[in-house]
Amino acid sequence: MTPLQFEAQHAAAWQELDAALAPTSRKRGSAPADRARIAALYRAACEHLAIAESRSYPVWLIERLEALTSRGHQLIYRQADFGIDKLRRLFLIDFPTAVRAHRLQVLIALVAFVGPLVVIGVLAYLDPSLILSLQDAASVEQYEGMYGDPDGPIGRRDAASDWAMFGFYIRHNIGIAFQCFAGGLFFGVGSLFALAFNGAAIGSTAGYLTWRGFGANFYPFVITHGAFELSGIVLAGTAGLILGHALLVPGRRSRLAALEHAARRAIVIVYGMTAMFAIAAALEAFWSSARWVPASVKVGVGAACWLAVIAYFLFQGRPRRGSGSTR
Amino acid sequence: MTAPPSVAESRLDTRYAAETPEGIALWLRPAGVVPRFYAYLIDAAIRFFFVSISFLVFALLGTFGDGLALVLVFLLEWLYPVAFELSAGAATPGKRMIGLTVVLDSGLPITPAASLTRNLLRAADFLPSFYAFGVLSMLFRHDFKRLGDLAAGTLVVYAPRTELLRGTPPPAPARAPAIPLTARAQAAIVAWAGRVSRLTEARADELAEIAVPVVVPRAMDGDRVAALVGVAHWLLGRR
């Protein structure tokens, strides 16, 4: 068969596929029968391309078929990955399950974060000048106004409003969490550093403020949003360590393949951790800083939040006992 | 004895073959550092513009506006590329202007998870400063993946061309070749005939001189180009 005969024989089918793939014909939701027809035409075009290549047909034929099949491929294999169901499934099952599936990384992240937090916290309490080697003097001076007893909300440098602080917490804290995740690409070192650094900074602040006698304002302030923020930063580090772990211990995959595989698992934790930071930002801006809420209420609500978060990661999304399946 | 190099390894250019379940190859053309840098500059300008505007506009709303402006800055910083990569063109406005698009390295359309992965890991590509790691990774690889692309399994490619190579030979009377031609020789003659209209006459004749003595020896004295184009027409099926 000559190229011209080949083209004449199949041109009608190619034109039909071309028209079906045009953006205008897809807008108004094609009928199911249409879709089956498109799939059949697409498979035929793929076959024609393979034949044309093996017979060294002229370039215009091959290019035409390549363009046609690549457009068809993009349309046919498009994944509908969005949707409320997917989101519900993420928070009810996928996120807590992913966290439990990586307990090694969670444990390392926890140690890397809580270790410096406690050690530096105790040291800063015993020797308050230590805080000056971790934070600059100007910001330490401001703690007086932030956690002391003037009027204004707790934990603010100036008289910023709740909304402004909400924006600040979203941008600043989630940014840090994303960087903590990205640092995992360097064999996990970046994540470990971010965890330890943030742990040390928070520990030194807590130690200093306790020594200064502001504990009664500081701890009720942090306890509620801390449930989401502190566990959020540990999970950001966990997601980073999943990448780092895959690079260090790729198992039977190549390092690159292991990284790709790990990233698909880690991103689930990143989704969840981002949501936790958003909750934390809202709580920190509108609830934690409020002077009108008595400290005892804040401690009570905060404790309930901690219990809820811990229970969520321990129990949420486990298969029902005796159901025999995981879904 | 070592195995012969695969098609991808032996290629001189950077075309990237993604095989589909139907057994054909989708040829992707990965984009290198320079076009992606231009696209980045355009996107940076767009983002800067919107950040400035939003601070001006939201300042009118008072402190509530300050908060919204900061949330918007956060979204522009981290999720601006994700939102656009998941839209119809699978590219940020900057990439779209340069003619780039983002796909999975299997040739499939990009997924939300992959898009978020590659854009959050941008922070790693940025280190130690000015995207140094990202640029290094791109320069060392045949498919120009930055670190985020490596983890997400994505490629930045040139958008499929809308205009195709026509490559139809100019009109000439069909004429049969003097000897049977192999498939390779046939393909070479047809490909040459497709390029004739874009070559200078002298170059077309020079190339024709290689084939004509064997393929149509009787045309050596006359118009060699026309004779060989005629053979191409005959091979294509005009007999």
Q: Looking at beta carbons, which residues of chain A come within 8 Å of B161?
A: 67
Mean pLDDT for all residues in chain A: 88
- Give the Å distances, CA to CA, from B94 to B37, B48, B98, B138: 10, 13, 6, 19
- Give the Å distances, CA to CA, from A252 to A162, A184, A246: 51, 20, 11
Q: Residue B236 contacts by C-beta under 8 Å, 6 or more apart in sequence?
A: A2, A3, A4, A58, B169, B190
Q: Are A207 and A131 in contact (CB under 8 A)?
A: yes
Q: Residue B172 contacts by C-beta under 8 Å, 6 or more apart in sequence?
A: B226, B227, B229, B230, B233
Over the stretch A9-27, which tens digit does the pLDDT of each residue have? 999 999 999 888 887 655 5
User: What is the CA angle A2-A6-A10, rounded to 5?
Assistant: 175
> Of B124, B133, B121, B152, which Cα lies nearest the Cα of A259?
B152
Over the stretch A142-152, which tens digit does the pLDDT of each residue have? 887 788 776 66
User: Over pLDDT 90: what percentage of chain B?
Assistant: 41
Restricting to B residues 64-83, those with a Cβ less than 8 Å away from any Cβ of A are 64-71, 73-74, 77-78
**Interface contact flag, A161 B64, Cβ < 8 Å:** yes
User: Sign of dihedral through CA atoms A129, A133, A137, A143?
Assistant: negative
Q: Looking at beta carbons, which residues of chain B come within 8 Å of A79?
A: 108-109, 111
**B212/B201 Cα distance (integer angstroms):** 15
Q: Are B89 and B96 in contact (CB under 8 A)?
A: yes
pLDDT of residue B146: 94
DSSP B49-82: HHHHHHHHHHHTTTHHHHHHHHHHHHHHHHTHHH
Q: Looking at beta carbons, which residues of chain A come within 8 Å of B183?
A: 55-56
**Nearest CB to A46: which of B24, B70, B238?**
B24
**Interface contact flag, B24 A178, Cβ < 8 Å:** no
Over the stretch A64-93, which tens digit does the pLDDT of each residue have? 898 889 888 888 887 766 678 888 999 999
**Interface contact flag, B113 A163, Cβ < 8 Å:** no
B140 touches chain A (CB under 8 A): no
Pinpoint the alpha helices (H) of A249-293. Answer: 255-283
**Nearest CB to A264: which of B113, B186, B194?**
B113
B111 touches chain A (CB under 8 A): yes
ipTM of the complex, rounded to two decimals: 0.85
**B42/B80 Cα distance (integer angstroms):** 13
Q: Where are the domains of chain B?
A: 28-158, 183-236
Nearest CA in chain B to A281: B71
Over the stretch B178-236, which tens digit does the pLDDT of each residue have? 889 888 888 899 889 988 988 898 999 899 888 888 888 877 777 888 899 999 999 88
